[in-house]
Each structure stands twice: as structure tokens, then as C-alpha cells.
Amino acid sequence: MKDKILSIKAIEYIILALSITLLFIILNKTDVKIVENIMQVSIFAVFLWFIYHKKTRCEDIISLIIMIGIIMRIGYMLYTAVGIRTHDIDGHIAYMNFLYNGSLPDSNNFIFYHPPFFHFLGALFGRTIGSLKYSGNDIYEAAKIISCFSSCAILLITRSIAKELELGKKAVLTAVLITAVLPNFFLLASRANNDALSILFMYITLLYTVRWYKKPCYKYVIILALSIGFGMMTKISVGTLAFFTGPVMLYVLIQNFRRDKKDMSILYQLIVFALICFPLGLWYPIRNLILFDQPFNYVYKIPVTEPIYCGDRGYGDRFFSFPFIEGVKSVYSHPNDDYNVWIYLIKGAVFGEFSFDINDLVPRVLFILNIIVSLISVVGLVFTVFSRRVKAEQKYFIAVLWLIVMASYISFNISLPFGCTMDFRYVVPISLVSGLSCGIMYQWLWDEAPKGIYSRIARIFFEITFVLFAFYSVIMFTTIN
């Protein structure tokens, strides 16, 4: 029965990929307002369909939220050209041209130090799907299909992760809602770079770490090895999840030996994992080490003379303050002027590093709502870590993932103090931590919190905040010019 369910899930992903590709061929670069009108009508039609069929169960609402999240991602991808609100696009296109011409980059300069998997797929899609509509470098518009599919798949996998962690239905709903409407996932969906695909492999790794922990088998360990291997072949930073998956593997191995010292099944599975994962994930870093003496943790060095350098500000200003007033004065990120990582993260989660042509009220409200959501997330994280009602496996998943992501982010910003390194795209899995921990707390408010006026107020405040955040997120990204 479970294999049948998994096969149905696989068909869903195939249908999703084909739908994105078909819509790209038909509507890509269509006038922004036309696409936004289609998005608005589609969301309204979905609401009407759910109301007409009286689908009000928690599972139905989750499905509704996922459909809205997918509409937002695909719509944003269709009305956003590949060079708009992106990063280093010229370098990524040059990389894809190298691969299309049959060779790897001949240097590790700029973008070329990155592993090539996304750029290989981008070159493939560009020369097949993209060439149906465009010529020259415009063919790489089709690389957006990869990023859009990745962003949509992340949403589906978020639901799977929450269910595998055995969270309550309201907790699953909360985790899915945050991932569905967080605007950074819309931004990721339109970029011809390796961000979205690498994050997708991270989420697959997290999901199959949980599944393998619950049921160690060759199927799961092979998928796990492929996700980490191809993830590191997309972006080497995916390898930081070794600090998440490694301890789980070691724990399962030790427990297995304690039960039966003659049972070598887990050890054999880990050997298979290593034989698949290490060659996939490390061949390109080893190639660059040999050819260019490039360290495994190498990142392209930006000159400190660049205007985005913020290392002249002290650690107190950058890490131990929260200049709320400065943030409210200008809700958009300014890489050349901003220096505080927390304000930059809150801005970046909803706007990236960009400004938008839209009435100032909507982004300002969205920014303030995201501050409230972030504060609720901090409370939810503390609650999850210290509550006796939360299972050990759930605590491990949330706490360790948070530690890995934030430690990597902070060390990255200490070693490379620039505006661009503060971007939310370097900590996207933190939204999963936020969704899961908020969900656990929300479920507790419904099921176990002492009945009374205070818990009811907390629950209503929670619901209003997240509904308004979703509403303003959808409104903004279906009305920008």
C-alpha cells in the first residue's frame, strides 16, 4: 500500500514538471498584468471549488494552501524575465554556454567555482525547451523551469517532512502555510541559478534522513546518497547537512550493534551510501583542487573596496542589535548600505535584495507582519526545544537543523562581511524550522494548553497574523508592476 502511495506521489511530481514546462512554453514573458490576472482568477477559482465541494477538513485546507503556493510560484516565474531580480545572471549563462559547448569551465573564477549540475540541466533545458521560443542567450529563460519545479517540490516535501515527523494536522498545516506563502520561494522560482535546486536537494536529504531513521533500508539510503551527492554537485554547501544526517547514521549503527553485534546490515548500507555519495559530491571539488588549488570550502572573494562591504561595522551593530526604526524607514534591502543581519534577513525573506514597483503600504505591512511571524517563530523554537510534550526526534530535527543553518550563516558573514552574504537565500531551510516549531506550538494551543481566555487569545492572534501574512504576500506578488 505504501509503495502504491509513493508511486502516486511520483506521478504528482511528473505532472507538476510537465505543467510548468507547458505553461512556460505558452505564457513565459507574457505581459505582467495578464499573468497576474490569471493568477488572481486561478486562486479565486480554487477557493470557489473548495467552498462549493465543502472541503473544510484540515487535509483539504492543506491542499488548498499548496495549490495557492504553486500558482504563486509558477505565475511569478512566468512574468519575471530571467535577468530580473536575480543574482550573477551573466556568470550563470556563461557557465551554461561552456557546458553546452561540451566542456567544463577553464577557470574557477567568479561563478565557475560552483559545481555544474544545475548549469548542465540549464544548458539542456535551454537547448531543448528554450530554443522552441528564443534564440541567443534568451534560450536560458528555460532554466527557470528547473528552479520553479524545485520551489514547488520543496512545498510538497515540506508536507511530507511534517507528516514523517508525526506532527498533528494543525502543525502540518502551519508548516505548509509558511512555505507556501513566504515570498522568497517565489523569488527562487524564477532564477536561472543553482539556489532553488540545491535547496530542493537539502529538503530531500532531510526527508529521507527521517525515513531512513524510522526504517533503515537500501532504498532510502540510496535516495539519501543521491540527494546529498547531486546536491553537492549543485552547490557544495549542501554538504553541511552531513552534520545533520551523520549523527543519525552513527546513532542507528550503534543501536544496531547493541541489539546484535553480528548484524552488519546497517554497516553495509552505510558503505553503499559512501560509494554513491562521495564520488558524486566530491569529484568537482577534487577537480578544482587539482587544477586550481581550490580549497573545498572556497567561496569567490569579493574585494573589500566594493560598496557592499560592511566589515567596517562592529559585531555589535551587525549581530547584537535590531535597528527596527531603520528597517521600517526603508522596508527593502540595500546591499550597499545595510549592515545588520537580522533586519536584512527579515527583509530578504519577503523581498530578497530588491525593490518593487507597488504601493508602499503593502510591502510595509508585509515587512511588519514578517517581524511578528519571526518573533512567533523564536517563541515556537524555544517551546519546541524545552517542552516535555515534544518527541525527541522532533526536537533533534528542529534544533539541529537550526544550529547547522545559523552557524553556517553567521560564520559565512563573519568571514565575508558583505551585503550580499546576508541574503535570506543562504538560510532558506530556516523557514522549515519556523514552520515546524510554530506548528508544534499552535497544535499545543489547540490540544493541550490550559483552557481559558489567554490560550484563546494566543490562538486567535496566531491565526490572524498568519492569515494576514499569507493575504498580503499573495496581494503583493499578484499586483506588482
Read out DSSP for 444-458? HHHHTSPPSHHHHHH
For residue 247, what are the contacts with CB-CB under 8 A and spacing of at least 6? 400
Q: What is the pLDDT of residue 2?
A: 56
Q: Which of 193, 218, 251 is the last residue of a domain?
A: 193
Mean pLDDT over the full length of the chain: 94
Q: What is the pLDDT of residue 8?
A: 54
Q: What is the pLDDT of residue 301?
A: 84
* Cα 301 to Cα 416: distance, rounded to the nearest angstrom: 8
Q: Are residues 149 and 291 in the same domain?
A: no
Q: Are residues 365 and 440 in the same domain?
A: yes
Q: Are residues 21 and 124 in the same domain?
A: yes
- Residue 218: CB atoms within 10 A of its CB come to 13
Q: Which of 300, 317, 339 is the last residue of a domain?
A: 300
Compute the average pLDDT of residues 225-249: 97
Compute the average pLDDT of residues 402-422: 95
Q: Regarding predicted confidence, which is higher, 110 or 239?
A: 239
Q: What is the pLDDT of residue 3?
A: 54
Q: How many domains does the chain have?
A: 3
Q: Are residues 229 and 360 in the same domain?
A: no
* Cα 279 to Cα 286: distance, rounded to the nearest angstrom: 10
Task: Write the pLDDT tens digit of every residue in 90-130.
Answer: 999 999 999 988 899 999 988 999 999 999 999 999 999 99
Q: Are residues 413 and 384 in the same domain?
A: yes
- Angstrom CA distances, 378 to 70, 367, 373, 432, 437, stand at 27, 17, 9, 13, 9
Highest averaged pLDDT of the listed ranges 81-85, 259-263, 319-323, 427-431: 427-431
pTM of the model: 0.96
Can you give the length of the chain in residues?
A: 481
Three-class SS of residue 56? coil
Compute the average pLDDT of residues 73-97: 95
Q: Which of 193, 225, 240 is the last residue of a domain?
A: 193
Do 295 and 289 form a contact (C-beta atoms < 8 A)? yes
Task: Write the pLDDT tens digit of every residue in 168-184.
Answer: 999 999 999 999 999 99
**Weakest-pLDDT range from 15-19, 86-90, 112-116:** 86-90
Residue 445 has pLDDT above 80, yes or no: yes
**CA 127 from centre of chain:** 27
* Cα 451 to Cα 49: distance, rounded to the nearest angstrom: 35
Q: Are residues 321 and 433 in the same domain?
A: yes
Q: Write out the residue range of the structural domain in which residue 356 sits.
A: 302-481
Q: Are residues 284 and 386 in the same domain?
A: no
Q: Are residues 383 and 259 in the same domain?
A: no
Compute the average pLDDT of residues 248-265: 92
Q: Are residues 173 and 213 in the same domain?
A: no
Q: What is the pLDDT of residue 278?
A: 96
Task: Write the pLDDT tens digit of every residue in 196-231.
Answer: 999 999 999 999 999 999 999 999 999 999 999 999
CA angle 22, 121, 119 (to 5 degrees): 130
Upper half-sphere CA count for residue 477 (Cβ side, 13 Å): 33
Q: What is the pLDDT of residue 321?
A: 92
Q: Are residues 264 and 346 in the same domain?
A: no
Q: What is the pLDDT of residue 325?
A: 79
Give CA torsion, residues 47, 50, 53, 56, to 10 deg.
-130
Three-class SS of residue 91? helix
Q: What is the pLDDT of residue 6?
A: 52
Q: Are residues 324 and 276 in the same domain?
A: no
* Cα 44 to Cα 275: distance, rounded to the nearest angstrom: 50
Task: Write the pLDDT tens digit of every residue in 283-312.
Answer: 999 999 999 999 988 888 888 889 999 999
Q: Are residues 42 and 107 in the same domain?
A: yes
CA angle 168, 173, 177 (to 5 degrees): 150
